[in-house]
Structure 1
Amino acid sequence: MKSEIKLTILKLLKFIIVLMIIDFGLGFIAKEVFFSQKTGKFHRTTYAIKKSKDDILIFGSSHAHRHYVPEVVERQLSLSCYNAGAEGQQLLFHRALQKMIFKRITPKIIILNIDENFLFKSDIAFERLSDLHPYYSDYKSELHPILRLNSSMIDFKMLFKSYQTNSTLVHVIKYYLKPQQDYKGYRPLFDETTANKIESLEKREPLKEYEEVIDDIFVNTLVDFIEEAQAKKIKVVFVTSPNLILRDITKNESLLKIKEIAKSKEVIFIDFLNSPNYLNKYNLFHDASHLNDKGAKLFTSSVSKIIKSSI
């Protein structure tokens, strides 16, 4: 009986060792492929973390990624600029990205494009943190406090090297097959929307990505984002992007709280949400939420001028 138990344990140990070797090998290959990317969202994130030396860094979701033209910023402010915006990502991701970047460089100015719903409860905000897994080995101290908010088992999961990149491989393949061109992180949209397109979209059931309840985790994350930058003498600027259609945001608790935090921390807040220069200007928008290239250049120029007069 004892010999059978010993044999079973021995087989189990052998299986675990083989599994670990396979995991290490697959993880090593996957990581090499991941960090060799020359295009796509992960390439842009990696560049911001490991290579960017720019004076101005732009953070935010697709409204940052699509709305800020570094070339325009550089021309008007005479400072180098990189757009580190990441489509679909919210405050937790931007905070993690900031922490990793700060490990290597200290920019002069940080622009955070504010989505008015940033502080509302959102499961998606946590789920999309898987995009950070490939960076865990190199930035454990920076990422662990944020990733553990979504999983108490994060330490165990990250023991498996192949797990760190398994959620990114489809994107890696896609970007190899179909490269994405960007301009220092900015990717322009060129189509112009119309009133008919907007009306047809408004008839569809909108995807609800948040619950209209303030999440203290996001509040604390925003405060940390500001305080670490200010501790490093970095100028922090909050900006809201323009709406195409006039919206009543006067009772948006998330936006009101963000403005309150910005005021208390003496952060410059540039508000374009309902700017008359963009309302109903269909020729400046790609869709109801995103500016096209023409609109982005106009918006970036306006923001740059305000920043220049404020610093």
Structure 2
Amino acid sequence: MKRLILNLFFFFIGLFIIDAAYGVAMTRLFEKARGGVTGKTKYICDSTRAELIILGSSRARMHYDPKILADSLGMSCYNCGENGMGIIADYAKLKILSQRYMPKMVIIDVLPILDEMTRDDNIIFVNGLRPWYDRMGIDSIFWKIDKTEKIKMVSQMYKYHSKFLEYYYDGKSQLPKDGYEPSPATKIISGKDLYQEEPRDNIIDEVKMYFAKKLIEEFKDKTKLVFVASPRYKFKTSLTVNPLRDLCSKNNVTLIDWYANREFVDVKELYADGNHMNVRGATLFSKALAHHLKRNCLVKMDRG
């Protein structure tokens, strides 16, 4: 019995040492990452001082040209868009960077499947933010999604799970100057191939709506919040579900719903695929949005 206890003791000591060593090695690899998703997230959380930031998914990353917005609105601008991200990631990133400074304006590109509806395990939205877990108020975001994160995050192996190759390659890539990464697509494909139907199981995700509410209530008086539903090919109706619209209305927060804007939705030459604009589309959309913001939102900011 004593031998068994002794063996278990040395086993756990060895496991602790391996886990700690892994954490040290991965932290160093993380610190060397200058580009890719890792480098961009680091820049957003720890470095950017842009007066206008854009949050959201790949649609944000591809649809909003910071140079056009900056030139028109007279603000420095950084595009924080990241593939597959939604309102939970938007809130977490804004929470982290707001501990350094507060942007004058925050544009959040919204898409129902990412920001309102139930889809995948919500933990995917904060996986890339584990290195900031110890920042004030960030751990509670993880706990809201999964209570077991309190235990899991004790392990360095869990904290950096599946990140080795990502950190390694991101250490060899370059960071986009203003975060804008337009679609590389140049070939116009048929309208039929572009079209993608909206998912039909419109089940509202209570966790996503919880963080949408927190984001609005926490930051509406600290910055100019603007939610934007950018155009999507062939869609004839506005945002398919209403909770976010209701939240914005209740809190007097701007929501620009161009999801089915006739100027854009029927012009296949503006799209790389059914969900993303190409460079031409992004340019026209950014100019139209900048004009709308300058005419409406900036006037209200000046008066406010």
Residue in structure 1 matched with residue 249 of structure 2 by the alignment = 263
Shift in CA distance, 95/211, structure 1 to aligned 2, threshold 3 Å: farther
Matched-pair contact (CA < 8 Å) for 2:57–2:109: yes
- The yes-or-no answer on 1:189 pairing with 2:178 is no
Question: Residue 187 of structure 1 aligns to which amino acid in structure 2?
Answer: E
Residue in structure 2 matched with residue 108 of structure 1 by the alignment = 104
- The yes-or-no answer on 1:28 pairing with 2:24 is yes
Q: 1:78, 1:111 → 2: CA distance?
A: 15
- CA deviation digits over 1:263-301, x for unaligned, max 9? 111111212111122122222211111111121122112
- TM-score under structure 1 length normalisation: 0.87
Residue in structure 2 matched with residue 227 of structure 1 by the alignment = 217
Matched-pair contact (CA < 8 Å) for 1:129–1:147: yes
Of 46-55 and 185-194, more deviation after overlay is shown by: 185-194
Q: 2:220, 2:125 → 1: CA distance?
A: 27
Residue in structure 2 matched with residue 290 of structure 1 by the alignment = 276
Shift in CA distance, 247/183, structure 1 to aligned 2, threshold 3 Å: farther
Q: 2:290, 2:131 → 1: CA distance?
A: 34
- CA deviation digits over 1:229-276, x for unaligned, max 9? 124x211001111122133347x22xx221121111111121211112
Question: Residue 42 of structure 2 aligns to which amino acid in structure 1?
Answer: T
- The yes-or-no answer on 1:89 pairing with 2:78 is no
Residue in structure 2 matched with residue 155 of structure 1 by the alignment = 150
- CA deviation digits over 1:19-75, x for unaligned, max 9? 212211111111111132111112111100000111111111111111111111111
Of 297-306 and 145-154, more deviation after overlay is shown by: 145-154
Residue in structure 2 matched with residue 245 of structure 1 by the alignment = 234
Question: Residue 120 of structure 2 aligns to which amino acid in structure 1?
Answer: D
Question: Residue 268 of structure 1 aligns to which amino acid in structure 2?
Answer: T
Matched-pair contact (CA < 8 Å) for 2:231–2:264: yes
1:199 aligned to 192, 203, 209, which one? 192
Q: 1:34, 1:288 → 2: CA distance?
A: 34
Residue in structure 1 matched with residue 49 of structure 2 by the alignment = 53
Q: 1:133, 1:106 → 2: CA distance?
A: 22
Q: 2:39, 2:29 → 1: CA distance?
A: 11
Q: 1:97, 1:123 → 2: CA distance?
A: 20
Q: Which consecutive residues of structure 1, in runs of 5 or more, have no partner in the other structure?
A: none
- CA deviation digits over 1:179-217, x for unaligned, max 9? 365241110114245453x424659xx896x94112222
Matched-pair contact (CA < 8 Å) for 1:192–1:287: no
Shift in CA distance, 226/128, structure 1 to aligned 2, threshold 3 Å: closer
Aligned residues: 296
Matched-pair contact (CA < 8 Å) for 2:213–2:247: yes
Q: 1:273, 1:212 → 2: CA distance?
A: 17
For 1:34, what is the secondary structure of its paired residue? helix
Shift in CA distance, 201/288, structure 1 to aligned 2, threshold 3 Å: closer
